[in-house]
Protein backbone atom coordinates (compact mmCIF):
# COMPACT_ATOMS: atom_id res chain seq x y z
CA UNK A 1 0.00 0.00 0.00
CA UNK A 2 2.72 2.50 0.93
CA UNK A 3 4.45 2.46 -2.48
CA UNK A 4 1.60 3.95 -4.49
CA UNK A 5 2.00 7.42 -6.01
CA UNK A 6 -0.16 10.24 -4.64
CA UNK A 7 -0.51 11.68 -8.16
CA UNK A 8 1.39 14.87 -7.20
CA UNK A 9 5.01 15.94 -7.55
CA UNK A 10 7.15 15.75 -4.42
CA UNK A 11 10.47 17.25 -3.33
CA UNK A 12 12.19 14.35 -5.12
CA UNK A 13 10.92 15.60 -8.50
CA UNK A 14 12.65 19.01 -8.54
CA UNK A 15 16.30 20.05 -8.70
CA UNK A 16 16.43 21.98 -5.45
CA UNK A 17 20.19 22.55 -5.18
CA UNK A 18 20.84 25.95 -3.62
CA UNK A 19 17.22 27.11 -3.93
CA UNK A 20 15.27 29.28 -1.54
CA UNK A 21 12.35 27.07 -0.53
CA UNK A 22 9.16 28.29 1.11
CA UNK A 23 8.24 25.30 3.29
CA UNK A 24 4.73 25.27 4.78
CA UNK A 25 4.84 22.98 7.81
CA UNK A 26 2.36 22.25 10.58
CA UNK A 27 4.19 23.57 13.65
CA UNK A 28 0.96 24.16 15.58
CA UNK A 29 2.33 22.66 18.80
CA UNK A 30 0.93 23.02 22.33
CA UNK A 31 2.79 25.74 24.25
CA UNK A 32 2.29 26.32 27.98
CA UNK A 33 4.05 29.21 29.75
CA UNK A 34 6.37 29.63 26.78
CA UNK A 35 7.39 25.94 26.83
CA UNK A 36 6.50 23.38 24.13
CA UNK A 37 4.74 20.45 25.84
CA UNK A 38 4.69 18.15 22.78
CA UNK A 39 7.11 18.63 19.85
CA UNK A 40 5.75 15.75 17.70
CA UNK A 41 4.72 18.05 14.85
CA UNK A 42 8.15 19.69 14.75
CA UNK A 43 9.89 16.31 14.63
CA UNK A 44 7.51 15.09 11.90
CA UNK A 45 8.72 18.02 9.75
CA UNK A 46 12.42 17.18 10.14
CA UNK A 47 12.78 14.64 7.27
CA UNK A 48 11.72 17.26 4.71
CA UNK A 49 13.73 20.05 6.38
CA UNK A 50 16.86 17.85 6.48
CA UNK A 51 16.40 16.80 2.84
CA UNK A 52 16.31 20.46 1.79
CA UNK A 53 19.29 21.42 3.98
CA UNK A 54 21.31 18.54 2.51
CA UNK A 55 20.76 20.11 -0.93
CA UNK A 56 22.11 23.47 0.17
CA UNK A 57 18.71 25.16 0.40
CA UNK A 58 17.71 28.15 2.45
CA UNK A 59 14.51 26.88 4.08
CA UNK A 60 12.00 29.68 4.61
CA UNK A 61 9.75 27.91 7.09
CA UNK A 62 6.19 29.06 7.77
CA UNK A 63 3.29 27.86 9.90
CA UNK A 64 0.28 28.95 11.91
CA UNK A 65 -0.04 28.52 15.67
CA UNK A 66 -3.42 28.56 17.39
CA UNK A 67 -6.26 30.88 16.40
CA UNK A 68 -5.05 34.45 17.02
CA UNK A 69 -7.18 37.44 16.02
CA UNK A 70 -4.09 39.46 15.05
CA UNK A 71 -0.62 39.61 16.67
CA UNK A 72 -0.60 37.82 20.05
CA UNK A 73 2.64 37.40 22.06
CA UNK A 74 1.24 34.19 23.62
CA UNK A 75 1.10 32.61 20.14
CA UNK A 76 4.53 33.56 18.80
CA UNK A 77 6.52 30.85 17.00
CA UNK A 78 9.72 31.94 18.83
CA UNK A 79 9.67 28.81 21.09
CA UNK A 80 9.54 26.69 17.92
CA UNK A 81 12.68 28.43 16.63
CA UNK A 82 14.39 27.61 19.94
CA UNK A 83 13.34 23.97 19.68
CA UNK A 84 14.60 23.74 16.08
CA UNK A 85 18.01 25.01 17.25
CA UNK A 86 18.09 22.16 19.80
CA UNK A 87 17.01 19.53 17.25
CA UNK A 88 19.37 20.82 14.51
CA UNK A 89 22.39 22.18 16.44
CA UNK A 90 24.61 22.35 13.33
CA UNK A 91 22.11 24.49 11.41
CA UNK A 92 21.66 28.25 11.58
CA UNK A 93 18.06 29.03 12.56
CA UNK A 94 16.95 32.67 12.22
CA UNK A 95 13.62 33.84 13.60
CA UNK A 96 11.91 36.59 11.60
CA UNK A 97 9.65 38.94 13.53
CA UNK A 98 6.98 38.79 10.81
CA UNK A 99 6.00 36.50 7.92
CA UNK A 100 5.81 39.23 5.22
CA UNK A 101 7.17 42.75 4.79
CA UNK A 102 10.50 44.29 5.79
CA UNK A 103 11.28 42.00 8.75
CA UNK A 104 10.71 38.82 6.74
CA UNK A 105 12.55 40.12 3.65
CA UNK A 106 15.55 41.26 5.69
CA UNK A 107 15.79 37.93 7.56
CA UNK A 108 15.74 35.97 4.31
CA UNK A 109 18.18 38.33 2.54
CA UNK A 110 20.81 38.07 5.29
CA UNK A 111 20.47 34.35 6.14
CA UNK A 112 23.10 31.91 4.90
CA UNK A 113 22.32 28.69 3.07
CA UNK A 114 22.02 25.91 4.04
CA UNK A 115 19.97 27.27 6.91
CA UNK A 116 16.48 28.01 8.21
CA UNK A 117 14.50 31.23 8.51
CA UNK A 118 11.37 30.63 10.60
CA UNK A 119 8.71 33.23 9.84
CA UNK A 120 6.39 34.53 12.55
CA UNK A 121 2.86 33.08 12.93
CA UNK A 122 0.99 33.35 9.59
CA UNK A 123 -2.32 33.95 11.34
CA UNK A 124 -1.10 37.20 12.89
CA UNK A 125 -2.35 38.48 9.51
CA UNK A 126 -6.08 37.99 8.83
CA UNK A 127 -5.20 37.84 5.12
CA UNK A 128 -3.78 34.31 5.62
CA UNK A 129 -7.14 32.65 6.29
CA UNK A 130 -8.87 34.85 3.68
CA UNK A 131 -6.41 33.54 1.05
CA UNK A 132 -5.70 37.16 0.15
CA UNK A 133 -3.89 37.29 -3.25
CA UNK A 134 -1.51 40.13 -2.27
CA UNK A 135 -0.54 38.43 1.01
CA UNK A 136 0.08 35.18 -0.92
CA UNK A 137 2.23 37.10 -3.44
CA UNK A 138 4.33 38.63 -0.63
CA UNK A 139 4.87 35.20 0.98
CA UNK A 140 5.81 33.66 -2.35
CA UNK A 141 8.29 36.49 -3.10
CA UNK A 142 10.55 35.13 -0.33
CA UNK A 143 11.43 31.98 -2.28
CA UNK A 144 11.80 30.31 -5.67
CA UNK A 145 10.06 26.99 -4.87
CA UNK A 146 7.15 26.03 -2.59
CA UNK A 147 6.90 22.78 -0.61
CA UNK A 148 3.75 21.91 1.36
CA UNK A 149 4.38 19.52 4.23
CA UNK A 150 1.44 20.70 6.37
CA UNK A 151 -1.11 17.93 5.96
CA UNK A 152 -2.94 19.18 9.06
CA UNK A 153 -3.74 22.43 7.22
CA UNK A 154 -4.26 20.96 3.72
CA UNK A 155 -8.07 20.98 4.04
CA UNK A 156 -8.01 24.81 4.17
CA UNK A 157 -7.58 27.01 1.08
CA UNK A 158 -5.43 29.62 2.81
CA UNK A 159 -2.77 31.94 1.37
CA UNK A 160 0.05 29.67 2.61
CA UNK A 161 -1.57 26.43 1.39
CA UNK A 162 -3.25 27.44 -1.87
CA UNK A 163 -2.57 31.09 -2.73
CA UNK A 164 1.22 30.78 -2.98
CA UNK A 165 0.91 27.95 -5.53
CA UNK A 166 -0.18 30.53 -8.13
CA UNK A 167 3.31 32.08 -7.91
CA UNK A 168 5.77 29.22 -7.32
CA UNK A 169 6.29 25.62 -8.52
CA UNK A 170 4.53 23.67 -5.73
CA UNK A 171 5.30 20.13 -4.56
CA UNK A 172 4.62 17.89 -1.56
CA UNK A 173 7.03 17.24 1.30
CA UNK A 174 7.60 13.78 2.76
CA UNK A 175 5.02 14.05 5.56
CA UNK A 176 2.33 15.29 3.17
CA UNK A 177 3.17 12.46 0.79
CA UNK A 178 3.01 9.84 3.56
CA UNK A 179 -0.31 11.12 4.95
CA UNK A 180 -2.05 11.31 1.58
CA UNK A 181 -0.66 7.96 0.47
CA UNK A 182 -1.86 6.00 3.50
CA UNK A 183 -5.27 7.62 3.82
CA UNK A 184 -6.17 7.72 0.11
CA UNK A 185 -4.93 4.17 -0.58
CA UNK A 186 -6.81 2.82 2.43
CA UNK A 187 -10.08 4.42 1.37
CA UNK A 188 -9.67 3.64 -2.36
CA UNK A 189 -8.53 0.03 -2.21
CA UNK A 190 -8.33 -1.42 1.32
CA UNK A 191 -7.11 -4.92 2.16
CA UNK A 192 -10.17 -7.02 3.18
CA UNK A 193 -11.79 -7.55 5.58
CA UNK A 194 -11.77 -3.77 6.16
CA UNK A 195 -12.92 -2.37 9.52
CA UNK A 196 -13.69 1.16 10.72
CA UNK A 197 -13.74 2.12 14.40
CA UNK A 198 -15.61 5.43 14.63
CA UNK A 199 -16.02 7.43 17.84
CA UNK A 200 -16.02 11.00 19.05
CA UNK A 201 -18.79 13.16 20.41
CA UNK A 202 -21.11 13.84 17.51
CA UNK A 203 -22.72 11.83 14.70
CA UNK A 204 -23.07 15.00 12.60
CA UNK A 205 -19.29 15.46 12.27
CA UNK A 206 -18.68 11.79 11.36
CA UNK A 207 -21.74 11.14 9.14
CA UNK A 208 -20.06 12.01 5.79
CA UNK A 209 -17.09 9.76 6.61
CA UNK A 210 -19.32 6.83 7.62
CA UNK A 211 -21.43 7.31 4.47
CA UNK A 212 -18.33 7.32 2.25
CA UNK A 213 -16.72 4.33 3.95
CA UNK A 214 -19.82 2.13 4.28
CA UNK A 215 -19.76 0.63 0.73
CA UNK A 216 -16.14 -0.48 1.31
CA UNK A 217 -16.51 -1.78 4.88
CA UNK A 218 -16.86 -5.29 6.25
CA UNK A 219 -16.92 -4.32 9.94
CA UNK A 220 -18.12 -1.10 11.64
CA UNK A 221 -17.59 -0.49 15.38
CA UNK A 222 -19.19 2.58 16.98
CA UNK A 223 -18.26 4.28 20.25
CA UNK A 224 -17.96 7.65 21.94
CA UNK A 225 -20.83 10.11 22.40
CA UNK A 226 -21.99 9.49 18.83
CA UNK A 227 -22.84 5.87 19.68
CA UNK A 228 -25.59 7.16 22.01
CA UNK A 229 -27.49 8.48 18.99
CA UNK A 230 -27.18 5.06 17.32
CA UNK A 231 -28.32 3.32 20.53
CA UNK A 232 -31.35 5.62 20.65
CA UNK A 233 -32.03 4.76 16.99
CA UNK A 234 -32.36 1.10 18.05
CA UNK A 235 -34.88 2.00 20.76
CA UNK A 236 -32.56 2.09 23.80
CA UNK A 237 -33.18 4.82 26.41
CA UNK A 238 -29.78 6.43 26.97
CA UNK A 239 -31.17 8.65 29.76
CA UNK A 240 -29.26 11.94 30.19
CA UNK A 241 -26.49 11.03 27.71
CA UNK A 242 -25.42 13.31 24.87
CA UNK A 243 -27.71 12.60 21.89
CA UNK A 244 -28.23 14.45 18.61
CA UNK A 245 -31.98 13.95 18.27
CA UNK A 246 -31.97 15.46 14.77
CA UNK A 247 -29.52 12.71 13.69
CA UNK A 248 -31.49 9.69 15.00
CA UNK A 249 -33.12 9.15 11.59
CA UNK A 250 -29.69 9.33 9.88
CA UNK A 251 -28.31 6.79 12.36
CA UNK A 252 -31.27 4.48 11.62
CA UNK A 253 -30.64 4.88 7.87
CA UNK A 254 -26.95 3.92 8.29
CA UNK A 255 -27.83 0.85 10.35
CA UNK A 256 -30.38 -0.22 7.69
CA UNK A 257 -27.93 0.34 4.84
CA UNK A 258 -25.17 -1.53 6.67
CA UNK A 259 -27.54 -4.47 7.18
CA UNK A 260 -28.40 -4.54 3.47
CA UNK A 261 -24.71 -4.47 2.53
CA UNK A 262 -23.82 -7.24 4.98
CA UNK A 263 -21.58 -4.99 7.09
CA UNK A 264 -20.98 -6.40 10.59
CA UNK A 265 -22.05 -3.43 12.80
CA UNK A 266 -21.36 -3.37 16.55
CA UNK A 267 -22.84 -0.98 19.13
CA UNK A 268 -21.82 -0.84 22.80
CA UNK A 269 -23.35 -3.70 24.83
CA UNK A 270 -22.15 -2.26 28.14
CA UNK A 271 -21.15 1.28 29.12
CA UNK A 272 -19.51 3.30 31.86
CA UNK A 273 -21.95 5.95 33.13
CA UNK A 274 -21.96 8.65 35.80
CA UNK A 275 -24.43 11.15 37.26
CA UNK A 276 -22.17 14.10 36.33
CA UNK A 277 -19.71 14.99 33.54
CA UNK A 278 -16.77 15.09 35.93
CA UNK A 279 -13.64 13.07 36.67
CA UNK A 280 -14.65 12.64 40.34
CA UNK A 281 -18.21 11.51 39.60
CA UNK A 282 -18.79 7.93 40.87
CA UNK A 283 -18.90 5.69 37.78
CA UNK A 284 -20.97 2.55 37.23
CA UNK A 285 -20.57 -0.11 34.53
CA UNK A 286 -23.96 -1.32 33.30
CA UNK A 287 -25.55 -2.85 30.22
CA UNK A 288 -26.33 -0.18 27.63
CA UNK A 289 -30.07 -0.79 28.07
CA UNK A 290 -29.86 -0.39 31.88
CA UNK A 291 -28.37 3.10 32.33
CA UNK A 292 -29.77 4.54 35.59
CA UNK A 293 -32.18 7.49 35.47
CA UNK A 294 -30.32 10.82 35.18
CA UNK A 295 -26.96 9.18 34.29
CA UNK A 296 -24.75 9.97 31.28
CA UNK A 297 -22.85 7.40 29.21
CA UNK A 298 -19.19 8.49 29.23
CA UNK A 299 -17.33 5.42 27.89
CA UNK A 300 -17.80 1.96 26.42
CA UNK A 301 -17.57 -0.88 28.95
CA UNK A 302 -15.10 -3.78 29.25
CA UNK A 303 -17.44 -6.35 27.64
CA UNK A 304 -17.79 -4.03 24.63
CA UNK A 305 -14.00 -3.63 24.39
CA UNK A 306 -13.63 -7.42 24.44
CA UNK A 307 -16.30 -7.99 21.77
CA UNK A 308 -14.89 -5.20 19.58
CA UNK A 309 -11.38 -6.68 19.88
CA UNK A 310 -12.76 -10.09 18.88
CA UNK A 311 -14.57 -8.59 15.87
CA UNK A 312 -11.34 -6.94 14.71
CA UNK A 313 -9.29 -10.13 14.86
CA UNK A 314 -10.19 -11.08 11.28
CA UNK A 315 -9.58 -7.57 9.86
CA UNK A 316 -6.71 -7.00 7.43
CA UNK A 317 -7.10 -3.20 7.53
CA UNK A 318 -8.47 -0.89 10.24
CA UNK A 319 -9.08 2.85 10.25
CA UNK A 320 -9.78 4.42 13.66
CA UNK A 321 -11.22 7.92 14.00
CA UNK A 322 -12.57 9.21 17.30
CA UNK A 323 -12.13 8.13 20.95
CA UNK A 324 -14.50 5.66 22.61
CA UNK A 325 -15.26 7.89 25.60
CA UNK A 326 -14.19 10.95 27.56
CA UNK A 327 -10.59 9.71 27.59
CA UNK A 328 -9.26 12.94 29.14
CA UNK A 329 -10.89 11.83 32.42
CA UNK A 330 -9.23 8.75 33.92
CA UNK A 331 -12.44 6.88 34.92
CA UNK A 332 -13.67 7.12 31.31
CA UNK A 333 -10.42 6.34 29.45
CA UNK A 334 -10.64 2.53 29.65
CA UNK A 335 -12.56 2.07 26.41
CA UNK A 336 -10.21 4.17 24.30
CA UNK A 337 -7.10 2.62 25.86
CA UNK A 338 -8.55 -0.87 25.42
CA UNK A 339 -9.17 -0.21 21.72
CA UNK A 340 -5.63 1.20 21.33
CA UNK A 341 -4.21 -2.05 22.75
CA UNK A 342 -6.53 -4.23 20.62
CA UNK A 343 -5.76 -2.43 17.35
CA UNK A 344 -2.02 -2.22 18.07
CA UNK A 345 -1.93 -6.00 18.48
CA UNK A 346 -3.48 -6.79 15.09
CA UNK A 347 -1.67 -8.30 12.12
CA UNK A 348 -3.22 -5.69 9.81
CA UNK A 349 -2.76 -2.27 8.22
CA UNK A 350 -3.79 0.09 11.04
CA UNK A 351 -4.31 3.79 10.36
CA UNK A 352 -5.33 6.38 12.97
CA UNK A 353 -6.92 9.65 11.85
CA UNK A 354 -7.89 12.62 14.00
CA UNK A 355 -6.15 14.68 16.64
CA UNK A 356 -7.98 13.21 19.66
CA UNK A 357 -7.44 9.63 18.47
CA UNK A 358 -3.74 10.35 17.89
CA UNK A 359 -3.62 11.70 21.47
CA UNK A 360 -5.13 8.43 22.76
CA UNK A 361 -2.53 6.40 20.85
CA UNK A 362 0.31 8.62 22.11
CA UNK A 363 -0.93 8.20 25.68
CA UNK A 364 -1.10 4.41 25.25
CA UNK A 365 2.61 4.33 24.38
CA UNK A 366 1.83 2.00 21.44
CA UNK A 367 2.31 4.50 18.59
CA UNK A 368 5.13 2.48 17.01
CA UNK A 369 2.82 -0.54 16.62
CA UNK A 370 0.38 1.30 14.31
CA UNK A 371 1.03 1.42 10.57
CA UNK A 372 0.32 5.15 10.42
CA UNK A 373 -0.86 7.77 12.92
CA UNK A 374 -2.07 10.88 11.10
CA UNK A 375 -0.99 14.34 12.27
CA UNK A 376 -4.06 16.01 10.73
CA UNK A 377 -7.46 15.93 12.44
CA UNK A 378 -9.82 17.75 10.08
CA UNK A 379 -7.72 16.88 7.02
CA UNK A 380 -7.74 13.14 7.75
CA UNK A 381 -11.50 13.20 8.35
CA UNK A 382 -12.09 14.97 5.02
CA UNK A 383 -9.96 12.35 3.25
CA UNK A 384 -12.06 9.62 4.87
CA UNK A 385 -15.07 11.48 3.47
CA UNK A 386 -13.54 11.15 -0.01
CA UNK A 387 -13.06 14.90 -0.42
CA UNK A 388 -10.13 16.46 -2.27
CA UNK A 389 -8.03 18.72 -0.05
CA UNK A 390 -7.36 22.22 -1.49
CA UNK A 391 -3.75 22.15 -0.28
CA UNK A 392 -3.14 18.87 -2.12
CA UNK A 393 -5.13 19.74 -5.25
CA UNK A 394 -3.02 22.91 -5.71
CA UNK A 395 0.28 20.97 -6.02
CA UNK A 396 1.83 20.11 -9.41
CA UNK A 397 0.49 16.89 -10.90
CA UNK A 398 2.98 14.03 -11.16
**Total length of the chain:** 398
Q: Where are the domains of the chain?
A: 11-176, 183-384
Q: According to the model, what pLDDT value does residue 3 have?
A: 54
pLDDT tens-digit profile of 224-249?
999 999 999 999 999 999 999 999 99
pLDDT tens-digit profile of 243-260?
999 999 999 999 999 999
Q: What is the CATH topology of the domain spanning 11-176?
A: Rossmann fold (3.40.50)
Average pLDDT over residues 296-311: 98
pLDDT tens-digit profile of 90-143?
999 999 999 999 999 999 999 999 999 999 999 999 999 999 999 999 999 999
**Pairwise CA distance, residues 157 & 179, whole Å:** 18
Say which range, 3-12, 79-88, 158-167, 238-247, has the weakest mean pLDDT: 3-12
CA distances from 169 to 12, 75, 128, 159 (A): 13, 30, 19, 15
Active site amino acids: 41, 202, 355, 378
CA distances from 4 to 45, 49, 166, 283, 298 (A): 21, 23, 27, 47, 40
CATH superfamily of 183-384: Phosphoglycerate kinase, N-terminal domain (3.40.50.1260)
Fold agreement between 11-176 and 183-384 = yes
Amino acid sequence: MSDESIGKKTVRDLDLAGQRVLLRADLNVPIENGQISDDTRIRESLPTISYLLDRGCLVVLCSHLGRPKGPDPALTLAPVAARLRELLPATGVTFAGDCVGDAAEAAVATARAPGIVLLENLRFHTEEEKNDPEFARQLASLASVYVNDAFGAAHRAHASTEGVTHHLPAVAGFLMEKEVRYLSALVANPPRPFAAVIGGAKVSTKLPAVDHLLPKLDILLLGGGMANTFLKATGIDVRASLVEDEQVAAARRILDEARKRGVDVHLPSDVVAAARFAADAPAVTVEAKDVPEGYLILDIGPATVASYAAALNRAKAVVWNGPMGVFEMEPFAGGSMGMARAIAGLDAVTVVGGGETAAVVARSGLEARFTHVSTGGGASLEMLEGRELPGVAALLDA
